[in-house]
A and B are shown apart, each in its own frame.
Chain A
Amino acid sequence: MNKNKEQLLNKRYKAEQRFRLYGLSAIFMALLFLTIFIFKIFSTGYSAFLKTWLIVPVTFDAELMMLDQNPSKEDLQDADYYDIALKSMADLDPNANEDQENELKRMVSYFFEKEIKNELLNDPNLIGKTKEVYLTASDDLDQVFKGNYPRDLPEDQRRVSDYQLKIFDQLVANGKVESKFNISFFTNADSREAELAGIASSFMGSIFSILVCLMIAFPVAVLAAIYLEEFAPKNRFTDFIEVNINNLAAVPSIVFGLLGLGVLLAIFHLPRSTPLVGGITLSLMTLPTIIIAARASLKAVPPSIREAALAMGASRMQTTMHHTVPLSMPGTLSGTIIGLAQALGETAPLILIGMVAFVNTIPGSPMDPAASLPVQIYIWAESAERGFVEKVSACIMVLLGFLIIMNLFAQIIRHKFEKKWS
């Protein structure tokens, strides 16, 4: 009998331990996913911050450029750089036939003509001389240099030919290939060529959308929260508003995209693909989040503050505006920032209002067509070219960086400025 009891107890203890283990492994799993995730993004993305350059000697032959003696600045602008650009690439292999010369040309980005031109514009004394110029490598060679390219594939399945690889390896052996920090990733707009594509346009698009979103959502949400928390009579109508807000907070984001499409674009005829429309759509989405946060922080202000102000003869409006609202601001602001961080990562509604269009200019105002960072991630992720994979990861890193900064900022505001009552 006693033995039975002991066995039973043992069994129960074992069950206890197993249960505990399940819980622990669940947490472990969740954290494991997070780690894999972040590791994967960083390991594929960090290389996009480096850019591969080919160092090619260029002879600035005045005759080939169709330049006279003592050319002016305008002459230099209008000169023909294509021939010298082509020639300097072809000179990499003196024995190249015509096809091979073509292949040599494709080892650098189509931008190479401009890069050579800029070199000369910077230093007009170069005419007639030879100088080594840094040229952006084509995205495939960029990947080859970073070791992401399957070189052992049969030649007809590769976009890089054996000949190009041979020349490239020679250049590498001579130290004529260099990897430098990729500034153009941050200053260029989107491009069809992976080696030239940058995040500047989508970044500005994101900034503009978030600003529009902030300017609309913050005042409206704070005012609404003040009304609902401090002034609203308790009746059916205010209950209805409250249910409405809670529901809106859980409506799928794509529905807001349909709202933007069906109302803002189709009825009000606002300009398509612009951060203005994107920002308005996002502001409708973040409105409930900010209202809920602002209400919570208004609620957290102790009634004694209100009572003291009222006892001193302040009106209800004065009490609210001079005492309750300023005290609730830290909580409201941190809630706002978190809401904006959500809006910053939102993709689906922006796709529906046309912010997926290919934009190769940097927008200067909210009325110019633009993409946004998450949409840029989507656009690049759908591209087939190998060079875009690391760009996507790098763009994700930039986006995550911003989200982390915003969330940290929200935490700091909350911990530093929020009064602890009691």
Chain B
Amino acid sequence: MNLILFTFIVLLGFTSYYFGRKKAYTIQSTKKRLTALPQFYGYYLAIWCAIPAFIIFSLWAIFEPTIVKLLILSDYSNQGYLDDELNLLYEKSKALSRGQFTGEITPFIEASAEKYLSLRSIAQSSKVVIVLSAIIASVAYAYKRISSNSRTREPVEKFLNAVLFTASLAAILTTVGIVFSLIFQTIDFFKVIPLFDFVFGTHWYPAKAFVRDSSEALDPTMYSDTFGAVPIFAGTFFIAFIAMCVAIPIGLMSGIYLAEYASTKVRQYAKPLIEILAGIPTVVYGFFAALTVGPFLKELGTSMGLEVSAESALAAGGVMGIMIIPFISSLSDDVITSVPQSLRDGSYAMGATKSETIKRVIFPAALPGIVGSILLGVSRAIGETMIVVMASGLAANLTLNPLESTSTITAQIVVILIGDQAFGDPKTQAAFALGMSLFLVTLCLNIVALRVVKKYREKYE
């Protein structure tokens, strides 16, 4: 229904464009000068068609359900039902009207369902009538108004400008959405679990909170020693540290080699090949880490007499390091190439070899940019999910032994939220609290890193 109406409105838009342009041509044929190209008269009318339709559609979407609900529940208003029961009744009659209701059908609910259906159809037809009449009225008004000296280009361009501006707000809206979705659950979580216990507690065992029967009242003492995030934070930074131990030397050295030593031909092939590593989906790395690297390390460890867990932090961190190599190598390559040639020439003129120039002149000059790229890499490592979920353990151990399994923020979020979850459960809220801390940490890292890189770029531009 809505789709048909929508198509019809689009068609109306095209027709009004056509009429506007035609009127402009008629004016032109009377040897009067137009103030804008004929198309603009068409666009002008089309916009007058689109705006009322858009406004009425959104008002309808906001108010229709509430009004229908009010009308239906007015039947039950003096029978002493509680609010929750009324809501339930409403949902039941809605489900019945769609034919999805499975429970016992009482005459009351059936009557409401019928009423619901009739109200919906009234609402639909009145919507069609109102939208169409509003469009016709506004287009007719605008059609009358356009004459040879009326301005049409300016309003059309203003409208387009407003559309462009609205689109650019999408990024801000997304950020607001992220903060919004995280903050309420996080606040609810900290109402039950003290912030201190979360930040300094050393026992993370969310499954314990799940055993609770939902009918029991919340008992804060039950949750002590359940949501201590220290092992999670430690595990996150530990795995990120292992990843960086792999990624920094390899990434940095290949960046230096590509920027300073490699011939154009080698560079032409090696650079995109290394960047393939960045394009491989992380779930694929996770599978590789879990199925190949983990068992390989375990076997290797056993042959050397070491106790290695099949889901060791080393396997997850190492594979994550491989994934981060291209980020560091590309960025540091860019940074090093943008160091001005004069610095190199000066150093060579003093008799320094190439490696000495790199180590003593170029590296210090490029250091801020390199640090920025490393920070971006760290932020990636902390936010990486699938590798850890698949290759590292899911139980939170507080350990600094790379051969044991640990868990990370991201892995815990997935473990908690996979499958059905009840909002309002401290366990679910814990996932959002973890998400909040992840968001804050990576945000700080990103802001610092982006600022450092930007400052550095400006220095040599």
Contact = CB atoms under 8 A, between A and B. Distances in A.
A23 B256 contact: yes
Interface in B348-407: 353-356, 358-359, 376, 379-380, 382-386, 389-390
26 contacts: A12-B356, A16-B354, A16-B355, A20-B261, A23-B253, A23-B257, A25-B253, A26-B251, A30-B250, A30-B274, A30-B329, A34-B276, A220-B167, A223-B167, A227-B168, A253-B385, A254-B435, A262-B185, A262-B432, A284-B174, A315-B157, A345-B282, A345-B284, A374-B281, A377-B284, A378-B390
Nearest to A396: B284
A396 B431 CA distance: 29
B261 A31 contact: no
B390 A26 contact: no
B219 to A, nearest CB: 25
A15 interface: yes
Nearest to A406: B279
Interface in B431-455: 431-432, 435, 438-439, 442-443, 446-447, 449-450
Nearest to A353: B417
Query: Lowest 10 CB-CB distances: which A-B pairs, in order?
Result: A252-B383, A23-B257, A345-B281, A262-B181, A223-B167, A26-B253, A227-B164, A19-B355, A348-B385, A224-B168
B168 A347 contact: no
Interface in A328-372: 341-342, 344-348, 351-352, 354, 356
Contacts of B157: 315-317
B59 interface: no
Contacts of B273: 31, 34
B177 A347 contact: no
B277 A33 contact: yes
A407 B276 CA distance: 10
B404 to A, nearest CB: 21
B232 interface: no
B384 A252 contact: yes
A421 interface: no
B291 A381 contact: yes
Given A20-B261, A252-B380, A356-B418, 8 more contacts: A16-B356, A227-B161, A227-B168, A246-B446, A257-B417, A345-B280, A377-B283, A403-B280
Contacts of A262: 180-182, 184-185, 432
B163 A254 contact: no
Contacts of A317: 157, 160-161
B270 A347 contact: no
B168 A251 contact: no
B414 A223 contact: no
Interface string A29-47: 1110110010011000000
A147 B230 CA distance: 46
Interface string A265-277: 0100000000000
Nearest to A349: B385
Contacts of A261: 181, 417
B6 to A, nearest CB: 14
Contact of B171 (A241, A321, A348, A351): A241
Contacts of A247: 175, 443, 446-447, 450
B105 interface: no
Contacts of B322: 30, 33
A220 B113 CA distance: 40
B292 interface: yes
Contact of A291 (B171, B413, B417): B171
Given A31-B274, A227-B165, A381-B290, A26 B254 contact: yes
A31 B250 CA distance: 11
A56 to B, nearest CB: 34
Nearest to A389: B291
Interface of B: 153, 157, 160-161, 163-165, 167-172, 174-175, 177-178, 180-182, 184-185, 249-254, 256-258, 260-262, 270, 273-274, 276-277, 279-284, 286-288, 290-292, 322, 325-326, 329, 353-356, 358-359, 376, 379-380, 382-386, 389-390, 410, 413-414, 417-420, 423, 431-432, 435, 438-439, 442-443, 446-447, 449-450
Contacts of B383: 251-255
Interface in A97-122: none
A313 to B, nearest CB: 11
Contact of B386 (A227, A266, A347, A407): A347
Interface string A195-220: 00000000000000000000000011
Contacts of A252: 379-380, 382-385, 410, 438-439, 442
A220 B170 contact: yes
A29 to B, nearest CB: 5
Contacts of A392: 287, 291
Given A34-B277, A345-B283, A248 B257 contact: no
Contacts of B326: 30
A259 B178 contact: yes
B325 A30 contact: yes
B170 A287 contact: yes
Main secondary structure of the interface of B (DSSP, over half): helix
A261 B181 CA distance: 8
A30 B171 CA distance: 35
A221 B390 CA distance: 33
Contact of B355 (A20, A224, A248): A20
A400 B280 contact: yes
A342 B280 CA distance: 9
Contacts of B353: 12-13, 15-16
A407 B279 contact: yes
Contacts of B288: 37, 40-41
Contacts of A40: 288, 292
Contacts of A30: 250-251, 254, 274, 277, 322, 325-326, 329
Given A23-B254, A381-B286, A348 B386 contact: yes
A258 interface: yes
A301 interface: no
Contacts of A291: 171
Contact of B250 (A26, A287, A403): A26
Contacts of A396: 284, 287
Query: Which interface residue of A23, A41, A352 has the most chain B CB atoms within 10 A?
Result: A23
A254 B283 contact: no
A287 B435 CA distance: 21
B281 A250 contact: no
Nearest to A284: B174
A172 interface: no
Contact of A255 (B168, B358, B423, B435): B435
Given A252-B410, A317-B157, A399 B281 contact: yes
B165 to A, nearest CB: 6
Nearest to A226: B164
A258 B171 contact: no
A19 B167 CA distance: 50
A244 B410 contact: no
Given A262-B432, A348-B414, A255 B256 contact: no
A347 B281 CA distance: 8
Contacts of B419: 356
A263 interface: yes
B379 A250 contact: yes
A403 B279 contact: yes
A24 interface: yes
A245 B353 CA distance: 42
A256 B283 contact: no
Given A24-B257, A258-B413, A251 B250 contact: no
Contact of B438 (A248, A255, A354): A255
A13 B258 CA distance: 20
A20 B172 CA distance: 46
Contacts of B276: 34
A65 interface: no
B439 A287 contact: no
Interface string A127-155: 00000000000000000000000000000
B167 to A, nearest CB: 3
